[in-house]
Amino acid sequence: MAGPNSTDAIEELLRSNHWGGSWRNGIYNFHHYHSTAHEVLIVYGGEANVRLGGEKGITQELHAGDVVLIPAGVGHKNLGSSENFAVIGAYPQGQTWDLCYGKKAERPEADKNIAKVPLPNSDPIYGAHGQLMTFWRK
């Protein structure tokens, strides 16, 4: 588990790399996605099995220290976690998240929103020329 000041340090790192709107909690236990923002999840405690990509997506086991970058429109769900599972989430500067559930009626509007979400200007961990962003832009 993270030390007493490490969550503050993570949030400061995110801010310095132009990711904001941070929060501390877990991951919802229902499928959801964001049509207006990309999201980074940084696990700082415990572990969880998370479905990424909607109902037919992949299941990934996440542990403290893992970082997951979720593009706008990609569904995610906590399938089960330890009691001490804890995450910091954040969004690229200038992007505000919404909450979508994958309902058919959401799609026309959500699809338009997703198409308009720009790539972030900087990697949430490594900054403007970071490794995650290099991978994403390929």
Six token digits for residue 7: 């969550």
- Averaged pLDDT of the chain: 92
Mean pLDDT of 34-62: 97
4 pLDDT band (50/70/90 cuts)? low
Residue 9 has pLDDT above 80, yes or no: yes
3 pLDDT band (50/70/90 cuts)? low
Residue 138 has pLDDT above 90, yes or no: no
Q: What's the chain's length in residues?
A: 138
Mean pLDDT of 25-31: 97
- Give tens-digit pLDDT for 107-120: 999 999 999 999 99
Task: Give the chain as a 3 state SS string.
Answer: CCCCCHHHHHHHHHHHCCEEEEEEECCCCCCEECCCCCEEEEEEECEEEEEECCCCCEEEEEECCCEEEECCCCCEEEEEECCCCEEEEEEECCCCCCCECCCHHHHHHHHHHHHHCCCCCCECCCECCCHHHHHHHC
Higher pLDDT, 59 or 132: 59
Q: How many CB atoms lie within 10 A of CB 87?
A: 24
What phi, psi does 52 have (nearest 5°)?
Answer: -115, 130
- d(CA 80, CA 47) in angstroms, rounded, equals 9
- Give tens-digit pLDDT for 60-71: 999 999 999 999
Residue 121 has pLDDT above 80, yes or no: yes
**Domains in the chain and their CATH numbers?**
6-137 (2.60.120.10)
